[in-house]
Chains A and B, each alone.
Chain A
Amino acid sequence: MIFGETAVVLNLLSIVAFSVLLMIVVVSAFIHLKGDSLSRYSASSRRQFYWLLALSPWFVGLLAVTLLLFSGSQYFPLLGVFELLHWHHPEEFVFSSWHSLSLGVAVAYGSFLIMRSVKKLIVNHCRVKQLHALAEPDKNNFFQLDANAPMAFTAGYFRPQCYMTSTLHSQLTAEEYTIVRLHENEHARCADPFKKWFFQLLTAFFPLAIARQLNHAMSLAMEQNADAAVVRVITDKAKIAMTLLKVKRLSLGIHDHYRLEQDALCHFGQPDREQDTISERIHYLLSDEKESVLPIYFIMLAAIPLSLVCALSADLFHHVIEYSLSH
């Protein structure tokens, strides 16, 4: 058993863990029920919203703990509102309790997910570094790779660079090349590879199906954002859409080369989603409708009542568990 400040910190951490879990359930339910209806909003707006969703368990968890901490303080302006929140043996932490067990499981699982993601980042970083060593920059600093697969992509986590294979370059007209270059430059400018990795790390705490849905949605929003950056320079949207389609057709030529890995992966509903990706990008590009914008700051305000609910639920959950264990 631990007493004092260390016990307070450990108790707070167990409340954070509970709040994170609760928020994961709430966000998962929201994505499951309403995830598909978000497509009518602008790409940049959706992008912000997905970040908010992925960060919300941690944000709300910290806010819930802050509320609990201050609920007993005389300096807290809304003291009366938080009378419901009261601490149970905050300066006492028992290692053989359910608090300790749940905190232990949460820390172990969290550490495992973080280490797995960091390992993936390091392995991929090394491979991209190798690839980079064999690439030659052209006059636009677009790195050219001497390979048969028609590909263009942005890679690198800390200094992202744009790559295009010689096969793809040889099949594009000057205008199409510019479209691909502008698209990839936007990914590099926004540091999208690193952001994708970090987003994946955050969503790894969600159930697998929800994590995939969130990652797919974020990926689509990033691509649409990069397409929108091209439109700011090249106003012929049909030309951009045709370039997308042309590169897709070329990539289908190497389809068989990658088939083995793709088939061995058992992607849950992935083929349908991919169909949506390219067609959604084209539909979004060609759409004349005025884009709706999500009220992000208003949604952020929802974190306050949610934190209160989490803090109250932690309290309620505590009562339920202690009651059932002692009776």
Chain B
Amino acid sequence: MNLGELEKLVLNYFWRVEIADTKQVYAYFEKQRGGSLNTIQSTLDRLFKKGLLKRHKEGHAFQYRAATQRKAFIGQLLKEVTEDFTLADEDSLLTAFVSLSTGLNQRQLDKMEKMIQDYRQKMIAKDAPSNALEDKK
């Protein structure tokens, strides 16, 4: 799904105001960046067709609101980005701090934690004689 610059701005607007009609959206963006009512109308229509806005009729005008909340939308985008990374090869394009792969279980992680703690103990024991020597000095 591709989003234009104005579409993103309008979506951000709906994550803040919850519900608005075309004229309210136009009034907001006219002050912010100019543009015509028609541009806003077609942007709202595109976002509705993309399933990002919901609408219902009140009198003669449509009332719009966001179909998904900000967190859910970003979560969906993140999922799409990760899909690009995982489809060809699990370790492919993403340089993530840790991968999303599920190849480890809790027991194996516990085992690794134990290993790190042992290392820490070993380092403390190694440093202890030199610290004692410094204290004596």
Contacts and interface: CB of A to CB of B under 8 A. Distances in A.
A153 interface: yes
A237 B119 CA distance: 9
Contacts, number: 178
Given A126-B2, A282-B115, A274 B89 contact: no
Give the interface size bracket for A toward B: 35 or more
Given A126-B2, A147-B71, A248-B109, A165 B78 contact: yes
Contacts of B101: 262, 270-271, 274, 277
A80 B5 CA distance: 66
Nearest to A249: B109
B13 to A, nearest CB: 13
**Which 6 A-B residue pairings sit nearest by Cβ, starting from the closest?**
A274-B103, A271-B103, A219-B91, A274-B101, A153-B96, A152-B97
Interface of B: 2-3, 5, 8, 12, 70-71, 73-75, 77-104, 106, 108-109, 112-113, 115-117, 119-120, 123
Contacts of B104: 248, 252, 274-275, 278
Contact of A247 (B73, B77, B83, B98): B98
Nearest to A153: B96
A134 interface: yes
A123 B97 contact: no
Nearest to A195: B95
B81 A274 contact: no
A244 B91 contact: no
The majority secondary structure among interface residues of chain A is helix
Contact of A286 (B83, B89, B92, B119): B119
A183 B98 CA distance: 11
A319 interface: no
A242 to B, nearest CB: 6
B92 A215 contact: yes
Interface in A168-212: 180, 183-184, 187, 192-193, 196-197, 200, 211-212
B88 A120 contact: yes
